[in-house]
Structure 1
Amino acid sequence: MTFESVRSKLKCFLIGEGLWDGVLEACDPKRADGEIASHVHDLLETRRLFPRFAGNDVKSAGASERFRLEGNKAFLNRNDLKAIRDYTSAVGHAPTGSEQLALALGNRSAATFAMGEYRHCLKDTELALSMGYPDSLKYKLLDRKGRSLLQLGSCTEAAEALKSALEYLPKAGFSSEKEAKIKDQINRTLFTCGENNIISEKVANNDCKLPTYKVESSKTIESASCLIDINYSSEMGRHIVATRDIEPGDVLAIERPYVSVLLPNSYTTHCFNCKTRCHSLIPCKTCTRVFFCSSDCLTSCSHTSHKVECSLLPALLAMGCNKMELLAVRVLVEVLKQGAQFDKFISNFEEIDKADDVMKGYKDGVYSSGDYASTHHLEGNKLKRKPYDLFSRAIIASCIVEAIDRCTDFFKKCEIDSDKTRLAKAIAGGLTLRYLQSMPCNAHEISEMCITHRTTKTDIESNEIGGAVYPLLSLINHSCDPNVVRHSYCGDAVVLTAIQVIKAGDQIFDNYGYHHAVHSIDERRCHLGSQYYFSCQCIACTNDWPLYNDLPDKVPTYFSGADVSRVEKSSERFVKLLKDILNGDTENKLPLLYEHLSLLHNNINRPWKQYSECQEAIKQCLSLKANHYIIHKT
């Protein structure tokens, strides 16, 4: 059963028994999360409404073969990305050390070679060869390995691989005529090894690196530059302000998440641990759906979060867990150290929970994204929620805790006696309910820009690959006219960049997904009110700015003393820049865009369409420096 079906059944029972009103009273927002979660858990338990939790994934040669054949179909149809996903699923389902695993790796290497991803191809060919790849097919794999090494400039190693391919060619069982033809092809490739040509990969995938600050780092915020600080007011709560004048392009923060999760649709293309794209993923040794970019990531994750999630994930996904629920589970697993630190958490809880409004999340005078306290105190708007909302979330929390209990050994260390185990489950339920309130108000997406170069045009699409908890970014308030933008880098890191002139003392504003140029004021207020519990009073809402297509673009209203001539010349240059950017040419464009945006900001009254166009151009250029994946199609 899914969470929705459990909720529906429980509600019907309670209404039928005349208990519904009493249960809603028990879910009063003023009650502690643990009390609400325990009450709902008991209701589900006594009425035996917990789902039948999905069992562990089992590796299967037959399932691996089915995915491999699907991959073959996609590969023959030149749908290389789908082929890679199917072959990766085949890798995940193949029993460890089996021929099916070697075959799946070999097939995947053909798809990555076809895409010009020679490093991924090389990784798979070497792994397949080490796993008993059939002798009758080895010539093909060794030939592919040699050609990959040749493309990467390793000519000596390429020649060795190609010579080995020739040695294995007779084992293929071809007719003498066909064998001679293949031998001739390999020898011609072998001949080019002496030319010592170095040919780089066709595709520069995920070729991004974190930017650096132009100024020194903050001494009081772990993940920020000295350009920003955390302030507090009774009206705004904790929020971020500029400590000095900020220009467009200034990097304000570079933050690693407290936790992050990969979304299921990215399991076969990205590393479950570091969230980077990888087309030569290696599988979890136990489950079938989780993959890693390296043995280091596999080992790291297997000793931490995946130690619990390996056997838990099937149940979570079957119940309907999405990004928010998966993040809540990941926070729980992280803070309790896979169930090993209940006692330590209980002893420290009062100190963590009692922090005053100003110092929430601080440790030794520093706001630390890596310390649990910063995540614990993220706003969940509990007192603004309705009892039914908390009832629904408590059902999810209870089902998650019960799944953890039945599918993992998370609570086994607490089994000194049944009372202690029950206490541990109550604590876990209360914490999970807390996170299920704070995640929708604070979680951020991990994104990747996909750029498809075709013969006639270039398509650019932003894809959500995961979700993360960034305690510093979560303190930034919303505006429908934000003055910063964030991009995902190197997997799950996030970089915050200014896209307006921001004066010292001004507040930093992010956008929570509802922008003045895209959504009407009614849409914005409706969504922001239902998810974040506030009514936006930003300049775009206060002055009811029009949507993008209706933004003024004829004659700007200049400020008194504006440098009109300079603005007009800069605008002419911007029109040419924008055309280049839309055609895919973003090289060295950012400094000119930043200069033009500053000029508009200081001389023209908003709203003004070119201002918005310049911001969007900056965002596009920045996105191509962040997580991105490039595909070349004819």
Structure 2
Amino acid sequence: MEIAKELILILKQNNKSHVGYGLQKECEALVGHILQNMIRSEMPPLHAVMKNEEDSIRYREEGNQHFVMGDDLEAVECYTLSLAYADSDELMAYAYANRSAALYRKQLYKECLIDIDAALRHGYPKEKQKNLKERGDKAIIEIKKLLQIDSEDIDNQKDMDKAYLYAECIEKSDTTKPVENETTMKKDQWINVPRKQNAMTNENYLYYTTKIFPQKPRYLQNDDFSKLMYGPSQEVPVISDGVVISFSERYGRYYVATREFQPGDIVSIEDPYAHVIYEER
């Protein structure tokens, strides 16, 4: 109804109609006319998007082209579309594996390891697993550098986790039955994880992904985050010393950066002319 009223007011301003008197009737008539046309007109054909091999391969090839040209973000997007259209484990494995390469180059090592593990779980071809696992090992090395964790401490932690799982399994088992040796007990008896046939996984990949925690935003890391980058300007104290104010007849007043800024840096802080505080919020 509001849209119809706006249309009538526009017609009145342009003097193209005698509308404007009795807006309620005019609006009702216009809305009724629109609804009648909607009923008479046919709905546009709906094309259901189905998973299929052709689109999955096409998007994967487009991702390969972006990856070769160094457009990693576009490559990740294409590989994700390839994964969305994949209708088999083989296509999903290829999409995961290719996307892991782009994620590694973007230094997203946690996401890279998750994709490598998913590719192996979906039965990535054995003859191509060498490069995939080498990429996973490199990502683990980068994570160790990032977290400054000694490999011996990580191995000790893994041994402690295995011992805990083994002890928990013994407690749940029947006391009348003899306890199997730890070396003969399979890990599938500890954790029931479904796996694809002939699929190989590296358990270290998902283990190391849990070691990377999301970074806190800057307003939680630093109490004094709301400060001007490079300090206040001597000429205009409300702006950063890294920018100057310029003027042009075409654009008016605008800022010009004289120093390098990073995304999220504050360049101007100014008190509002008027403001209202909603206490209930």
Name the TM tier (shorter chain): 0.3 to 0.5
TM-score, with length taken from structure 2? 0.48
Look at both structures and tell me which one has the larger radius of gyration over its CA atoms: 2
TM-score, with length taken from structure 1? 0.23
- In terms of fraction of residues, the more strand-rich structure is 1
